[in-house]
Chain A
Amino acid sequence: MTSITADPTRTDESRSSGLDWGLIGRQIAGILRLELRRNLFSRRSFALYFLAFAPVGLFLIWAISPATSYFADPAQAVAQVFAPVFVGYLRTVIFLSALITFMSLYRSEILERSLHYYYLTPVRRWVLVVGKYCSALISSCAVFAVGTSMLFLLTCIPWGVGDASRYLFQGPGLGNLIGYVGIAMMGCLGYGAVFLLVGLFFRNAIIPAAFIWAWEWANFALPGVLKKISVVHYLRALYPIPLPENIAENFIAVASDPTSPWVSVPGLVIFTALVLAFAGWRAGQMEVNYEGD
């Protein structure tokens, strides 16, 4: 065999007892290279783009329709139109995208029979889980940050660039926009963790996904204790603009202590970290056999 110089930047972990964080970082970067390509530039990504940008098409039609004349200014339109629509966007579109993207991380590779290529590399299983999760999170966050921003801006634009700019840069618009983009990203984080876990346990996602979806939508009607076992409960506390009073949730909602953003954001991050730790352990126990898949 022709001679190959050993990579001076690659250390042999078997020689040392501790973790080589430099090596782990390079391995995660290697996983991101492969996975971002799959998530953003493969057939699988069409579903993500469709879900994220189909509502943008609908908002474009709304923006050029006479319906905008019912609202006095961008602030009112954002409060009366964008804010309630965003609830549906979060609970349906982001939910379904997370279902497709995060569940596919393992399931699609098992179906394609290509997961073993990862399992035949000197990568700890939890590192693989973290790498795959981060790739899906980056893809989803990027797409939904753009999608949410486009929805928000299309809501403002019928009043002209001048009014829209004043609302955005001299009023609360930009802060609200950043808030909603942040919620969309937190939604990707939370739902992503849930569906990564579901993907490691269930071959067929339809039943668990339908249950989780129903649970999330019915959250407002649940008793206070059960309310807290959901992603949407923690995200609701982050809405920059309260939902209009005519939204059904506000009629039926069972009183519960509102969760402070200072609790809900770290809470979701901790929940995600716990799920990743469990998923890493689960991936370590997994056999790659492909039989019956």
Chain B
Amino acid sequence: MTQPLATPENNSVENDSIIFDNVSKFYGEVLGVNRITLRFQPGITGLVGPNGSGKTTLMNLMAGLLRPTQGSIRVLGVSPDTPHKLFANVGYSTQFDSFPGGMSGYQFIYSYLRVHGFNHANAHDLTWQALERVTLTDAASRNVAGYSKGMRQRVRLAQAISHRPRVLILDEPLNGLDPMARAEVIDIFKDLADTGCHLIISSHILHEVDMIADRVVLLSSGYVVAEGEIGGVRTEMDDHPIQVLIRCTKASTVAARLFEQEHVVEASLHDDRQGLEVRTRDAKRFYASLNEIVLAEEIDIDTVTVADADVRAVYQYLIGQEGEAR
């Protein structure tokens, strides 16, 4: 699944990707991540894994807050060792729920935009636009210390997006948000992804990752267990047959015909006999067989749904119950 790394001849690809080349990070003798080779393309990539799997380490390496023990990292063609180039295009909302003391939400964002080098007028405009984006304008003049957890999460997001980065790294950005704010923030992510931004999002909330991410990277104990589009990852897991739910007429006939196929390992009828659940080792051949059966037996199909091709299922198959899958 790992895509070939950019070569010097292919600079345009490198300049539009985030590339990890055989990267390891050790904290003394403790493993952070090991031999990570990845390429992140524009769009939303979900980082999924249990606590201690290396998600935050991977993000901190990307942002240059940590230095790799070995290997190299390029973010849009720039090394994280050159912050003056990197952070013109990168924003990072970390997991640290801490802020410089005594600042309002406005001052917090504005002050660091001035550190970026923006003049007053532009820093002011960018600050308001970021606050509007996360619907925090009403609380802009209030001290951040008095914000709720959700508001602190949003003001960190606003700070990360305030300078219009092309790469946005977000560590558990949905934590502490109420359902409405969560929906708004997810919309922001989707809008940014539509404009060609890279969004690297770590989350424990698997169904939300499934909903928003174009691709996932599954980590466990510092290793990449799987990466790619979630459907592709699931298809390649040969040792876990895919579960397909079918609601249709003549369900018993369909079950009998499908069970004749060598790739189908299980077919069970629903109690109301208006549907069945099939487990197959080969999705392509399964769908081909189903089409043939439907045409031959004149069956009306209501729905065909893959039951375990989401992040949660992949996570559970590959990583097991040790994580905090919700």
Given A1-B195, A33-B111, does the pair A122, B116 have CB atoms closer than 8 Å? Answer: yes
Asked whether A118 lies within 8 Å of B115 as measured between CB atoms, the reply is yes
Q: Tell me if A71 counts as interface (CB < 8 A to partner B).
A: no
Residues of B within 8 A of A7 (CB): 117-119, 122
What's the nearest-Cβ distance from chain A to residue B106, in Å?
A: 14
- Choose, from B36-44, B87-95, B228-236, the stretch at the interface: B87-95
Residues of A within 8 A of B115 (CB): 27, 30-31, 34, 118, 121, 123
Task: A30 to B90: give the CA distance in the assembly, Å.
Answer: 19
Q: Tell me if A29 counts as interface (CB < 8 A to partner B).
A: yes
User: Which of A4, A29, A43, A125 touches B114 (beta carbons < 8 Å)?
Assistant: A29
Task: A287 to B94: give the CA distance in the assembly, Å.
Answer: 14
Given A1-B192, A119-B65, does the pair A42, B85 have CB atoms closer than 8 Å? Answer: no
Asked whether B96 lies within 8 Å of A116 as measured between CB atoms, the reply is yes
Q: Tell me if A262 counts as interface (CB < 8 A to partner B).
A: no
Residues of A within 8 A of B119 (CB): 7, 9-10, 26
Asked whether A121 lies within 8 Å of B99 as measured between CB atoms, the reply is no
- Choose, from B46-54, B125-133, B255-263, the stretch at the interface: B125-133
Measured CB to CB, the nearest residue on chain B to A120 is B92
Task: A67 to B268: give the CA distance in the assembly, Å.
Answer: 104
Asked whether B84 lies within 8 Å of A119 as measured between CB atoms, the reply is no
Q: Tell me if A14 counts as interface (CB < 8 A to partner B).
A: yes
What's the nearest-Cβ distance from chain B to residue A111, in Å?
A: 10
User: Which of B63, B67, B129, B161 touches A120 (beta carbons < 8 Å)?
Assistant: B63
Residues of B within 8 A of A14 (CB): 78, 84-85, 88
What's the nearest-Cβ distance from chain B to residue A128, in Å?
A: 9
What's the nearest-Cβ distance from chain B to residue A118, in Å?
A: 7
Residues of A within 8 A of B7 (CB): none
Measured CB to CB, the nearest residue on chain A to B77 is A14
Residues of B within 8 A of A285 (CB): 67
Task: A29 to B116: give the CA distance in the assembly, Å.
Answer: 10
Asked whether A289 lies within 8 Å of B60 as measured between CB atoms, the reply is yes
User: Which of B78, B86, B114, B126 touches A30 (beta carbons < 8 Å)?
Assistant: B114
Total CB contacts across the A-B interface at under 8 A = 130
Chain A 270-293 against B: per-residue CB contact (8 Å), 1 yes, 0 no?
Answer: 000000000000000101111100
Asked whether B65 lies within 8 Å of A116 as measured between CB atoms, the reply is yes
Residues of B within 8 A of A31 (CB): 115
Which size bracket describes the interface of B in this complex?
35 or more
Chain B 122-161 against A: per-residue CB contact (8 Å), 1 yes, 0 no?
Answer: 1001100100110000000000000000000000000111
Q: Tell me if A5 counts as interface (CB < 8 A to partner B).
A: yes
Residues of B within 8 A of A1 (CB): 129, 133, 161, 164, 191-192, 195
Task: A291 to B125: give the CA distance in the assembly, Å.
Answer: 36
Q: Tell me if B100 counts as interface (CB < 8 A to partner A).
A: yes
What's the nearest-Cβ distance from chain B to residue A283, in Å?
A: 11
Residue with the highest number of chain A CB atoms closer than 10 Å, among B66, B113, B116, B191: B116
Asked whether B100 lies within 8 Å of A112 as measured between CB atoms, the reply is yes
Task: A38 to B94: give the CA distance in the assembly, Å.
Answer: 23
Measured CB to CB, the nearest residue on chain B to A23 is B117
Asked whether B84 lies within 8 Å of A113 as measured between CB atoms, the reply is no
Task: A119 to B159: give the CA distance in the assembly, Å.
Answer: 13
User: Which of B27, B64, B67 touches A291 (beta carbons < 8 Å)?
Assistant: B27
Task: A76 to B114: give the CA distance in the assembly, Å.
Answer: 51
Q: Tell me if B102 counts as interface (CB < 8 A to partner A).
A: yes
Q: Tell me if B4 counts as interface (CB < 8 A to partner A).
A: no
Measured CB to CB, the nearest residue on chain B to A125 is B83
Q: Tell me if B3 counts as interface (CB < 8 A to partner A).
A: no
Task: A119 to B65: give the CA distance in the assembly, Å.
Answer: 7
Asked whether A287 lies within 8 Å of B96 as measured between CB atoms, the reply is no
User: Which of B65, B85, B122, B192 touches A287 (beta carbons < 8 Å)?
Assistant: B65
Asked whether B111 lies within 8 Å of A30 as measured between CB atoms, the reply is yes
What's the nearest-Cβ distance from chain B to residue A22, in Å?
A: 9
Given A7-B118, A14-B78, does the pair A289, B84 have CB atoms closer than 8 Å? Answer: no
Task: A13 to B85: give the CA distance in the assembly, Å.
Answer: 7
Task: A252 to B100: give the CA distance in the assembly, Å.
Answer: 49
Residues of A within 8 A of B60 (CB): 288-289
Q: Tell me if B26 counts as interface (CB < 8 A to partner A).
A: no
Asked whether B96 lies within 8 Å of A119 as measured between CB atoms, the reply is no
Q: Tell me if B179 counts as interface (CB < 8 A to partner A).
A: no
What's the nearest-Cβ distance from chain B to residue A47, in Å?
A: 15
What's the nearest-Cβ distance from chain B to residue A206, in Å?
A: 24
Task: A122 to B167: give the CA distance in the assembly, Å.
Answer: 14
Task: A288 to B111: give the CA distance in the assembly, Å.
Answer: 20
Q: Tell me if A69 counts as interface (CB < 8 A to partner B).
A: no
Given A2-B129, A27-B116, A287-B67, does the pair A120, B100 have CB atoms closer than 8 Å? Answer: no
User: Which of A26, A38, A41 touches B117 (beta carbons < 8 Å)?
Assistant: A26
Task: A33 to B164: give the CA distance in the assembly, Å.
Answer: 23
What's the nearest-Cβ distance from chain A to residue B107, in Å?
A: 9
Residues of A within 8 A of B66 (CB): 287-289
Given contacts A13-B85, A120-B91, A289-B65, 9 further A-B contacts (CB under 8 A): A2-B133, A9-B119, A9-B122, A23-B117, A31-B115, A119-B64, A122-B87, A287-B67, A288-B65
Can you sample 8 A-B contacts with CB below 8 Å? A1-B133, A4-B125, A14-B88, A27-B116, A34-B111, A119-B64, A288-B60, A289-B66
Q: Closest 9 interchain pairs by CB? A: A30-B114, A30-B115, A113-B98, A122-B87, A7-B122, A14-B85, A288-B65, A26-B117, A122-B88
